[in-house]
Chain A
Amino acid sequence: MPQITYRKALNDAFAEELERDENVIMLGEEIAQYNGAYKVTEGLHARFGDGRIMDTPISEAGFAGLGIGASMLGVRPIIELMFWSFSYVAFDQLFNNAPMIRYMSGGLINVPIVVRGPANGGTNVGATHSHTPENFAAYTPGLKVVCPSNAYDAKGLMKSAVRDNDPVFVMENTLLYGQKWDVPEEEYLIPLGKADIKREGTDISLIAHGRCVITCLEAARVLKEEHEIDAEVVDLRSIRPLDQEAIIDSVKKTNRAVLVDENKPFCGTSAQIAALIQEHAFDYLDAPVKRVSSLDAPQIYSKPLEDEMVPNAKRIVKAVQEIL
């Protein structure tokens, strides 16, 4: 199986969907002639042309809302945010228009959009450019939220997102774009709402999404090699829909859980998951559920400190040791 980057996997997903359905278009800053600030859309403008791959002005509220409006008539825009941090400029469109229109119209109108771009810290760019708003989005009924942790998932999930008839927010990661994974050449889709066990284990469940899954796998290796602890790593893949069953099954098996996410802890994604575990697997728990999140302050610029701020394997190992 060929190894391709996360970036290329996404690029292939777009190309395939643009090819398959002429209603699919792409909008965003620098995505066409410049090939994308992170080169995720490389070559698409050359291949599909001006009418379908469109550079926008720096007007997030405008082009996000435009995408929503166009989707009401059956266009299927994939809207790139250079960073999810910039979604805050378009908050009304993304969090008040996109998720509410279907409901308020009594189901008469659909909003089949994908909004995507990187949402991560750890890149030394400071507080305004390091947000991870998957919890904001998952909080909002009407929105779906996907956080792929690797190239294979990124491609399969993105293709499902494009075909979904509701707004799907896909949060990628600049630190993953250049990393490679096995990705088959033949077409495949991964349904939203289906978690994936990235490592089987018996002693503890590490439950994560996005790049934190990779960090958990690293922690699991250390736990095995240095502490003889056999951790299971559950990759949620999508936050909403959420594969509650996979979470509960894993916890029932291992009786312990450490939840890892890059959200800040207060009302972060893992807070919801912790609530579900205590509600549905209380009798199976041998220890309190632990959470490893970003440290609870705005993102610090200084690199060595930022590296401590986002979840790392060291902190995960420590959390595991505290309850095992």
Chain B
Amino acid sequence: MSKNSNTTTTANGKSGTAQSAKKKSAGVNASLTREDKVLLYRDMVRIRRFEERSLHAYQQGKIGGFLHLYIGQESIAVASASLMGGHDHIITAYRDHGQALSVGMTMNECMAELYGKFTGCSKGKGGSMHFFAPDKNYWGGHGIVAGQTPLGAGIAFALKYKKLKGCCLCLLGDGAVNQGAYHESLNLAALWNLPVVYIIENNRYSMGTSQERSSAGAPLARRAESYDMDWDVVDGSSVYEIRKKLAPAMQRARDEHRPCVLEIQTYRYRGHSVADANHEKYRSKKEIEDYKQNHDPIMLFQQTLLKEGVLTDEKIDEIDREAKNEAAESAKFADESPYPPEEEIFTDVYWEVDHKTEKNQGRLFFND
């Protein structure tokens, strides 16, 4: 499930027919093979173990700056990536490690990026908030709240312009809905019938501010209504639920160029970033525990798959062991990798310089 080339899901972009979106995506879960289900489960576990390992590295002082962990929200990235066909794309904010692993980026390149190493996915230039893998249709990793929301509309615009049958999943947080850029994007998407699905990952807080204290009107997705867009609210603790509602939304986007907004209810267990050490001040320990005990997407899916006879206790242990090993290996890889050489500061600024073309003249850099 980690590669977007998987064929386990709805008809992928290239093979759309005139069937209604609903019909097409009906049974989006029923059609999953046992292997598919195990992969969905495994990818969630991999994300969690990766995040835990990166937190450890941060505490050791090997990673600095900001580190926004995805722990608790794994189902959203994994379910989203599992529905992506060859012409589907995904873009998100700074809480971007889960999406990266879900679309098939390796732990090694992700961990190395966090360490600021040359072997990282952006050669150590982007950092935690700025992962990219255009070869996997993953367009980042954006540090400015809601900055990615017009880009998501733009990717959808490009798909339509190029007559490609696909859609763009554009993820944002519950706090991001209050940025003007998001509203401008919704209007453009609706006005121009762009194949974009906005996914609000509603983890109930933007830093230390609860949804109630930052946003007028609920549910947040309902704001789509004023742009004549479809919207829905989804229980994010269930991978099946997310897939069930996301699949037809993506199909409508691909087939009919109808954008929509899905608000997926979720929760982050850790602070906003690792620096947010006092996150139990703005929410109660009890609340956090309740999510961990009763709504954890990994635990719930594990129970479902045990019931279905897809997973066994041995298999669960094996998946966990492998994920931990993979994460530990990635930390070792990152540790042993070199920092970028100093010349790298001035590469990747201009295409022209990197490609040594002589088309343009004049000075580009102004160092002392």
Residues of A within 8 A of B (CB): 29-30, 33-34, 37, 55, 57-62, 85-86, 88-89, 123-129, 264-266, 290-293, 295-298, 300-305, 308-309, 315, 319
Q: Does B311 contact A (CB under 8 A)?
A: no
A/B pair count, beta carbons within 8 Å: 141
Closest chain B CB from A266 CB (angstroms) = 5
- Across-interface contacts of B209 in A (CB, < 8 A): 29-30, 33-34, 55, 57
Whole-angstrom CA separation of A132 from B73 in the bound complex: 34
Question: In the complex, given contacts A29-B207, A125-B127, A303-B64, what are 5 additional A-B residue pairs having Cβ atoms less than 8 angstroms apart?
Answer: A34-B209, A58-B146, A61-B180, A129-B143, A301-B113
**Chain B residue with the shortest CB-CB distance to A319:** B368
Q: Does B240 contact A (CB under 8 A)?
A: no
Query: Contacts A34-B282, A266-B366; is A127 near B130 (CB within 8 Å)?
Result: yes
Partner of B175, one of A57, A125, A295: A57
The 0/1 profile, CB within 8 Å of A marked 1, for residues 169-196 of chain B is: 0000001101111000000000000000
Choose, from B242-250, B295-303, B344-352, the stretch at the interface.
Answer: B344-352
The 0/1 profile, CB within 8 Å of A marked 1, for residues 98-124 of chain B is: 000000000000000100110000101
Q: Does B339 contact A (CB under 8 A)?
A: yes
Q: Does B214 contact A (CB under 8 A)?
A: yes
Query: Contacts A30-B208, A37-B207, A295-B345; is A305 near B130 (CB within 8 Å)?
Result: no
* Contact across chains for B144 and A126 when beta carbons are under 8 A apart: no
* Contact across chains for B144 and A57 when beta carbons are under 8 A apart: no
* Contact across chains for A124 and B181 when beta carbons are under 8 A apart: no
Partner of B116, one of A29, A61, A301, A308: A301
- Across-interface contacts of A291 in B (CB, < 8 A): 368
- Across-interface contacts of B281 in A (CB, < 8 A): 34
* Contact across chains for B144 and A89 when beta carbons are under 8 A apart: yes
What are 7 A-B residue pairs whose CB atoms fall within 8 Å in the complex? A88-B144, A89-B180, A126-B129, A293-B368, A301-B116, A303-B65, A305-B344
**Chain A residue with the shortest CB-CB distance to B363:** A266
Query: Contacts A34-B282, A58-B146, A58-B175; is A300 near B366 (CB within 8 Å)?
Result: no
Whole-angstrom CA separation of A62 from B147 in the bound complex: 15
Whole-angstrom CA separation of A297 from B181 in the bound complex: 26
Whole-angstrom CA separation of A293 from B366 in the bound complex: 10
Residues of B within 8 A of A (CB): 64-66, 113, 116-117, 122, 124-130, 142-147, 175-176, 178-181, 206-209, 213-215, 281-282, 339-340, 342, 344-346, 349, 365-368
* Contact across chains for B66 and A125 when beta carbons are under 8 A apart: yes
* Contact across chains for B207 and A308 when beta carbons are under 8 A apart: no
Partner of A128, one of B143, B180, B214, B340: B143
* Contact across chains for B144 and A303 when beta carbons are under 8 A apart: no
Whole-angstrom CA separation of A30 from B175 in the bound complex: 12
* Contact across chains for B181 and A126 when beta carbons are under 8 A apart: no
**Chain A residue with the shortest CB-CB distance to B146:** A58
- Across-interface contacts of B122 in A (CB, < 8 A): 301
Closest chain B CB from A57 CB (angstroms) = 4
